[in-house]
Structure 1
């Protein structure tokens, strides 16, 4: 499967570096587009990240979770300026999120050990 970010093709072994570069540049929200109409949403506050996989444009998708996490975190800055707060159980630590996205790009599916919930 081919994935792109801002129209640029992206290989699985490049995704972590690309996302880290965007984060360093203050771009905390990234949308990856796949074929035929799949999308990965990634938004971080530099500590935790929301990772979503959507199968088509109107699909509410699934998102990665951290079932044992407690509390909330804010600072999830979207490209439209909105600053979101999420339950920590609905996000994952940043390094884990990057590994999940790398696996999604490389394999087109969630890692077997990734906790997720359907938002459908």
Structure 2
């Protein structure tokens, strides 16, 4: 079964992989830097950005520590990750990826259900 994904903001309309990048960009442009997507099988994708880098997580369900995209060899840290609850976070750059890569990763997960073959990620379980 192919999963369908919705933006977890009360919407019940599936977001096709061809539209998810445009949807994320529009949310970022409107100042919504944290987005959660929920699949028809209960999996979750978390996307949190500071507009330059993003944290991308894939979870098997609520309470799962999941997996997250990484940028091996990146140095330093970046702030400006504003969560829906108003919290401002800072992450090591190695635990985030450039925004272009993050959008591509989310698009692939929504379209294929898995990490892109060339993406780097770590399992947090």
Q: TM-score under structure 2 normalisation?
A: 0.94
Equivalent in the alignment of 2:5: 3
Q: What is the correspondence of 1:10-25 to structure 2 with a 5 Å cutoff?
A: 10-25=15-30
Q: TM-score under structure 1 normalisation?
A: 0.98
Equivalent in the alignment of 1:95: 100
Equivalent in the alignment of 1:69: 74
Unaligned runs of 5+ in 2: none
Q: 1:35 deviation in Å?
A: 2.1
Unaligned runs of 5+ in 1: none
Runs of 4+ in 1 over 3 A off after TM superposition: none
The correspondence for 1:114, drawn from 107, 110, 119, is 119
Equivalent in the alignment of 2:36: 31
